[in-house]
Amino acid sequence: MLQLNNVSLSFGNRVLFTDISLSLLEGDKVGLVGVNGTGKSSLLRIIMGELEPDSGTITRRNGLRIGYLSQQHRFAEGVRVIDAVFSPHDPTAHLVGAWQSAVERGDAEAQERLLPDMDRLSAWQYEQEATAILHALRITDVERPMELLSGGEVKRVALAGVLLQQPDLLILDEPTNHLDLEVIEWLEGYLSRSRLTLLLVTHDRYFLDHICTRIVEMDQQQLYSYEGNYETFLTKRQERLEQMAQTSDRLANIYRQELVWMRATPQARGGKQRARKEHFAELSSELSKARQILREQTTIEPLHSSVRLGKQVIELEGVSKSFEESKPLVRYFDYIFSRRDRVGIVGPNGCGKTTLLKMIIGELEPDSGSVLIGETVQFGYFGQKLPSYAPDKRVIDIISDIASHITDPVTGQSVSATQLLQRFLFTSDRIYTPVSLLSGGELRRLYLCTVLMASPNLLILDEPTNDLDITTLGVLESYLSSFEGVLIIVTHDRYFLDKLVEHLFVFEKGGHIRDFPGNFTQYRLQQEAEVQQATEQAATRESKSAAPVASQATRQGNRKKRRSYREEQEFQQLEQQIPQLEGRIAELERRMSSGSLSNEELIKAGEEIAEAQQEMEQASERWFELAAIEEEA
């Protein structure tokens, strides 16, 4: 489908990758991972044909249709949701968009006018899929102008548009950013079941693990390919790093020997000496790369705040908040934070998570209730919006303005601004780089370092995983795992929640907040158990309400004593029909969960299951009626 051979790219003196090769076959689901700034987005642009490499070749299958979801979504003023979702260049998509608009407006005349074209273009299956995707992504008002949408809504509209293109190759760059957990889980299921060829860049490790069949890592200007999901990638990558550590030790020994020779040879005059000097330079570069890769894997100890938390941390008592005439975002919430509390906050976009955070830190007054903040609390707030930095300021200057160094009161260790930046993967050259030259991910890392350099004892992270790469997330998780203060996290990253939090604030309907003891996976399991229990209770109530009718039928049957010849024939047919229906349903359910069906086939299978279940219910009910009649002797 697509092949890259010996592709290289650099910007000025900065080399992103050298002589890399990549192949994508039909049906591949490939995850592309790597530290921010290594060139992942640039590689996607090369594949899209938006950027020319310095060297190498890109071969695409003739007529290859590529769908691309970027991290930035720009729409012209006045563009409606319907225009963004349904491509005007695709006659079927354009027609279905007009149909959806007419249905939403309740315009019967327009529907009547469009009906013949819908039949002529066989657009009903596309319309059914479009409806399912729009519903799953919670896109309801298709007439709404795009400029009135929130960031999360714009993301969902852009995602719906690229999915409905039905491309041969789908490229998604951080698709889970700004999506809430339920939409992420739907998208994960959709992509894992589909037969799309997929190239995916994401920091969401559960997303990678559940979808991808191959992981490609961009590291130190090279690509490394690993067959399997994310869990398999971690195992194989660790093996590579262990092998690299051995190589690094061997290179270090050779380097020391060569260094002695270099120092003893002030000037390389002969050809052999010049060759040896060039070899030394190559060896030095190779050793530097190996050490940099290994340095990125080391865990780090957190900085402890110079002020320890007292007994009183934060107490929320009867806190409520709403805006104008909207429904309450938070209603009568009580909670007393204790030292080393580790809380995750989850709920749909717009439910009030950030509002709660702002009340906790005192930026927002509650409508009722009170927020008491202890005297020893020192907040650190890592928000979704980047601060504005002077573009000509260097990275090191931004951190040094907060503190040149911090002395850890527990260990007595002094940590400089440079050391903190190195811990969070800023290389020596990037530490002295002007802010204007940083990538989006590097700016997020810089922002994070400014928060940590202030050594808070209560750390609030609002969507911290957005724009951070997986390696940086690993460093941050290592840091936070040993953090001695209070940790409050709002995130859509399920892996991050599972690894760090001990209980959840779950936003429910009406502004109510549930305090759940456990991490996100435990909460999801509890939810499934509650749904199962509610379903069983509903079935029991329905069975009890139907009992008098069944009893009456049984009494009538008992008076009859025997089945007639026709009833006996029907009974025998039902004895064969019911197991066949059960087998049919089981087979359809197996196919639906196999991940091998397209979206159209999934819809059809779902309809067939519903029909078979209804038929089996009717057959079972009739079987019970006939079974209550005594068989002929």
pLDDT of residue 560: 43
Lowest mean pLDDT among 33-47, 165-179, 353-367, 587-601: 587-601
Point out which residues pair with 8 in neighbouring strands: 55
The Cα angle at residue 322 between residues 321 and 326, in degrees rounded to 5:
160
Give the pTM. 0.72
Query: Would you call 595 exposed, middle or buried from its count of C-beta atoms within 10 A (0-12, 13-18, 19+)?
Result: middle
What 3-state DSSP class applies to 376?
A: coil
Mean predicted confidence (pLDDT) in 280-286: 55
Q: Which amino acid is at 260?
A: V
Does 268 have pLDDT greater than 70? Answer: no
Q: What whole-number distance in Å separates Cα of residue 59 and Cα of residue 4?
A: 6
Sign of CA dihedral 83, 87, 91, 95: negative
pLDDT of residue 540: 74
293, two tokens = 């890769």
Q: Residues 168, 27: contact at Cβ < 8 Å?
A: no
The per-residue DSSP string of 235-274 comes to HHHHHHHHHHHHHHHHHHHHHHHHHHHHHH-SS--SHHHH
Tell me the pLDDT band of 163, cut-offs 50, 70 and 90.
very high
Range 314-518: architecture per CATH: 3-Layer(aba) Sandwich (3.40)
Does 47 have pLDDT greater than 90? Answer: yes
Q: Percent of the chain at pLDDT above 90?
A: 37
pLDDT in tens, 470-521: 888 888 998 898 888 999 999 999 999 999 999 999 999 889 999 999 999 9
pLDDT in tens, 186-199: 999 999 988 899 99
Does 299 have pLDDT greater than 50? Answer: no
pLDDT in tens, 405-433: 876 655 667 788 898 898 888 888 899 99
Of 104, 519, 457, 456, nearest to 312 by C-alpha is: 457
Q: What whole-number distance in Å separates Cα of residue 382 and Cα of residue 152?
A: 19
Tell me the pLDDT band of 29, cut-offs 50, 70 and 90.
very high
Q: Residues 4, 20: contact at Cβ < 8 Å?
A: yes
Q: What whole-number distance in Å separates Cα of residue 64 and Cα of residue 2?
A: 9
The CATH code for residues 561-627 is 1.10.287
pLDDT, the chain, mean = 82
Mean predicted confidence (pLDDT) in 224-235: 90
pLDDT of residue 545: 60
Angle between the N-to-C axes of helices 124-136 and 108-120, in degrees from 0 to 180, rounded to the nearest 10: 120
Q: Where are the domains of the chain?
A: 75-166, 254-295, 314-518, 561-627
Lowest mean pLDDT among 43-57, 251-265, 302-316, 577-591: 251-265
H runs (alpha helix) in 165-301: 181-193, 205-211, 230-264, 271-295
Tell me the pLDDT band of 633, cut-offs 50, 70 and 90.
very low
In sequence order, what are the residues at sequence separation of 6 or more whose Cβ sits closer than 8 angstroms to the Cβ of residue 214? 28, 29, 30, 31, 225, 226, 227, 228
Q: Percent of the chain at pLDDT above 70?
A: 82
pLDDT of residue 556: 46
Q: Residues 531, 349: contact at Cβ < 8 Å?
A: no
Higher-confidence position of 410 and 238: 238
Q: Residues 216, 2: contact at Cβ < 8 Å?
A: no
